[in-house]
Amino acid sequence: MEILKCSAAHIGSSRKRKYRLFGITKGSVRILNMVVTLFIAGFLATPTSAEPPRFSQVVPGVPLVFPQDFGSHPDFRNEWWYVTGWLETPDKKPLGFQITFFRVATEHNRANPSRFAPKQLIIAHAALSDPAVGKLLHDQKSAREGLGLAYTKEGDTDVKLGDWYMLREENGRYQTTIKARDFMLRFSLTPTQKPMLQDDNGFSHKGPLPEQASYYYSEPQLQVTGTVTHNDKETAVKGIAWLDHEWSTAYLDPSAEGWDWVGANLDDGSSLMAFLIRGKDGRKVWAYAGIRDASGRFTRFEPDQVSFQPQRTWRSPHTDAVYPVEMRIQTGSTVWLLTPLQDDQELDSRQSTGAVYWEGAVTVSRDGKPAGRGYFEMTGYVESLKL
């Protein structure tokens, strides 16, 4: 997803290490090159300087301020708003969903006054996990920011890409509508707790070096009401969701290959977030976990206190990738087990970000007892694919 210089030659020269922030594989880089070239050819209206913009850096000790930090941070290279959750139909049928909006700053000259200059790209993914279908339903979009058709606004959450949008109201409730190819999602998401600042008060380490970090908060335990439309049938749903908002300019450690991440709403009102960044040799590059109980007490776990151990794998019939869909996670002395709602929750986003990854609804047990529900993401398991 990393968009670089507005020169096709430069785009190809330094991408290999920079795309690792998003787990994009070598085989899919060529697809994103093509997308960038089309953006440049179609929308570059005036000459630009070769001087690239200077992006802001993530530094420790900077407090997150709300509602301002609910909004966009265009001076940073990358940003996303990521909503995942479990739904229930009136007949108690479980469904999972994902809605994601990405903002990616290009290295296009910021002084260019043209409204057509591709300074920011907006990308969105949406998915519906329904065991009755047996595979993930998903869709994706991408466009340059501008003309009121695609944007991420500063000051509060207000993101739009065509007829997909997510808006945070003054009372904190989110409204979102996604008109995807095979389904439509229309939700209200109501906070029940204050934002959960990850890691060191929102400064989230992503590797051993100080600059390998992001600003990161979550909104767990969101109450969801709304409708899901599929096969021309609209169904009322209710459920629980998790929102992540993260922004950064950094890259992952050069040795990183991908990551495993989980965000889980626990039945007792607690919230668990954990991730493992894997190296090319399969070893841990970095790991982190944070747990906040219903009273607001936050517990942070260091890399050596967090481990991920695959329990069962699934081979994708679409890409031949092998994913550890059932995962044992240990945080300190506590053992968690993730079990998928269905195995086939692979999302192919080669038409937008170039990545293929597994993102799915999971149930969560704690020390052998049912504990909650969440979403599990795995990247870096697909070596190369052709479009």
Superfamily of domain 8-51+62-378: AttH-like domain (2.40.370.10)
Buried b (16+ CB within 10 A) or exposed e, 227-248: ebbbeeeeeebebbbbbbbbbb
Q: Which pLDDT belongs to residue 290?
A: 98
Nearest to 87 by CA among 129, 115, 117: 129
How is the chain split into domains, by residue range?
8-51+62-378
Spatial neighbors of 91 by CB under 8 A, at least 6 apart, are: none
DSSP H or E stretch at residue 104 = strand 94-105
CA–CA separation, 387 vs 379, rounded Å?
18
CB within 8 A of 70, min separation 6: which ones? Answer: 156, 157, 168, 245
Contacts of 249 (CB under 8 A, 6+ apart): 55, 56, 57, 58, 76, 77, 78
Give, in order, the Cα–Cα distances in Å from 205 to each of 106, 223, 349, 371, 375: 24, 29, 26, 27, 21
**pLDDT one-digit tens code per residue, 316-346:** 999 999 999 999 999 999 999 999 999 999 9
| Stated pTM of the model | 0.84
Give mean pLDDT, residues 28-49: 38
Residue 201's SS3 state is: coil
Q: What is the pLDDT of residues 367-384, one digit of tens each?
A: 999 999 999 999 999 875
- CA pair distance 197, 175, nearest whole angstrom: 22
In this predicted structure, which of 4-18, 171-185, 233-247, 335-349 has the lowest mean pLDDT?
4-18
CA angle 101, 105, 106 (to 5 degrees): 130
The pLDDT of residue 226 is above 50: yes
Higher pLDDT, 140 or 46: 140
Coil/strand/helix, residue 18: helix
pLDDT for 156 beyond 90: yes
| Residue 116 pLDDT | 53
Which of 3-12, 52-61, 234-243 has the weakest average pLDDT?
Answer: 3-12
